[in-house]
Amino acid sequence: MGRLIVVSNRVPLPDQNGMAPAGGLAVALQSALEARGGIWLGWSGKSTGSEDVGPLQSLKVGNIEYALTDLTDLDLEEYYQGFANRVLWPICHYRLDLAEYGRREMAGYFRVNRFFASRLLPLIEPDDLIWIHDYHLIPLASELRQLGVTNRIGFFLHIPWPAPDVLFTMPVHESLLRNLGTYDVVGFQTVHDRENFADCIARLEIGERLSDTEFRIGGRDLVAESYPIGIETDAFTTLAERAAGTTLAKRMLQSLDGKELIIGVDRLDYSKGLTQRIDAFEKFLIKHTESQRKVTLLQITPKSRSEVPEYEAMQRAVAEQAGRVNGALGTVDWVPIRYVNRSLRRPALAGLYRMARMALVTPLRDGMNLVAKEFVAAQSEEDPGVLLLSRFAGAAQELKDAVLVNPYDVEGTADSIARALVMPLLERQQRWRSMISVLRTNDVFHWCDSFLGELGKTKPSEIPRARAS
């Protein structure tokens, strides 16, 4: 068995005791890397300003070598903030209005991918499997092929793949699709994403579909399949059970003072539907006055990507909106929405999920959404809370027994909140049992094994292919 090389924009480094940082993805990939031995390469999180980037920084922990590279300010401006986060992210989340395409950013994106390829090249051995993650690095396989790499290379996209009419608004769409064609396995979160990919290939006539999951693009065969990412289900359940008696749990119970807790946990991002969610909660309170003073929405939202102007504006908008609802409906002893811009440690998060009567997971578009899965894993069998889940989250394709909502339909979502609050115990238990059994089977280790299993079955490339772009 060859080694495994993982490449992602950011690398989750282990703590001083060699433990993987919190989060299922890091744990699963680190356990796969530990088992096979391997390398995890990515950006260090640091910029050299306008200075040239120095050699790779390397850290060996057990069987895993972490290889980190700095980037320059210009690289970050063009590749990361520019093309990845202001073109690919909005387009893949169907926000054409927010996409700001520029040739300079696009050129920077391809340049940094070429740079990553040059850093990786000296580390690759003949039998290594290479697994590249996410939208920052789509052209990396093509750049590696160009340098003569014939190893098996897989790619997993964590965010949605859009429908052709959406993707085709981006000037370099054909080049990106051809770049995907230089991988051996391309993994999507859902069958829906895979079908969007297939439709793009068919519409552009740049490849053939050989079967549901096999394609031929630019004379090369590849597998494109859905591998829905999971969480560490059992470990998360244990965390939630243990959290019950902690100080934080006691303080939270005390501050709720008998009110029901509804929880929302999202990175601050326009894809997460926070504005529509707060609108729906407000409509619910106005229509169901009997619920006023009986429920509290705790919205936990750490800031992200503050350097991108849309995110900065959204931070203000959401805080103002929550403040307006609290001002209009709150009383001296009841705050309808508690809005917290913080990251919590996982045990605290797990405990809050377990305490909540309901979770509102209502993104306008989401590759998967792990919060939905964590909430279900944290519930007790005797008295499980209800998951309200957007139909436009990848997770909705697996968690069919959640209460599915259309987040654009604010009144419909408000009605679903009302129904969920009075859902009988028996129905809550039936829905929960069906969801937890899916999550126990498809956990993050299953996801990792399925992807690597498929990649391991493919044949290494025989000859390096021409650059796809």
Residues of this chain that interact with ligand ADQ (CB under 6 A) are 23, 158-159, 229, 265, 267, 300, 302, 343-344, 349, 366-371, 374
Angle at 133 between CA 190 and CA 81, to 5 degrees: 105
**Which residue among 128, 193, 279, 366 is the active-site one?**
366
* Three-state DSSP string of the chain: CCCEEEEEEECCCCCCCCCCCCCHHHHHHHHHHHHHCEEEEEEEEEECCCCCCCCCEEEEECCEEEEEEEECHHHHHHHHHHHHHHHHHHHHCCCHHHCCCCHHHHHHHHHHHHHHHHHHHHHCCCCCEEEEECHHHCCHHHHHHHCCCCCEEEEECCCCCCCHHHHCCCCCHHHHHHHHCCCCEEEECCHHHHHHHHHHHHHHCCEEECCCCEEEECCEEEEEEECCCCCCHHHHHHHHHHHCCCHHHHHHHHHHCCCEEEEEECCCCHHHCHHHHHHHHHHHHHHCHHHCCCEEEEEECCCCCCCCHHHHHHHHHHHHHHHHHHHHHCECCECCEEEECCCCCHHHHHHHHHHCCEEEECCCCECCCHHHHHHHHHCCCCCCCEEEEECCEHHHHCCCCCEEECCCCHHHHHHHHHHHHCCCHHHHHHHHHHHHHHHHHCCHHHHHHHHHHHHHHCCCCCCCCCCCC
Closest to ligand ADQ by CB, 119 or 305: 305
- Between 120 and 372, CB nearer to ligand ADQ: 372
Of 461, 155, 131, 412, the closest CA to residue 287 belongs to 412
- Whole-angstrom CA distances from 260 to 45, 208, 325, 336, 351 are 40, 54, 18, 11, 15
343 or 458: whose CB is closer to ligand ADQ? Answer: 343
The two structure tokens encoding residue 225: 């399949």
CA-based nearest residue to 198, from 138, 186, 392: 186
Q: Which CB, 143 or 374, lies closer to ligand ADQ?
A: 374
402, 433 Cβ separation under 8 angstroms? no
Nearer to ligand ADQ, 181 or 230 (CB): 230
* 446 given a catalytic annotation: no
Least separation in angstroms between CB 251 and ligand ADQ: 17
Catalytic residue among 93, 133, 136, 158: 158
Q: Whole-number minimum distance, CB 359 to ligand ADQ, in Å?
A: 11
Whose CA is closest to 441, among 399, 382, 390?
Answer: 399
Least distance between ligand ADQ and beta carbon 425 (Å): 27
Distance CA 365, CA 56 (A): 36
Cα separation, 408 vs 370, whole angstroms = 21
Closest to ligand ADQ by CB, 278 or 285 = 278
Q: Is 366 a residue of the active site?
A: yes
| Closer of 82 and 394 to ligand ADQ (Cβ) | 394
- Output 64 or 371, the one with its CB closest to ligand ADQ: 371
Nearest distance from C-beta of residue 431 to ligand ADQ, angstroms: 20
In the complex with ligand ADQ, which residue's Cβ is closer, 23 or 218? 23
The catalytic residue positions are 158, 366
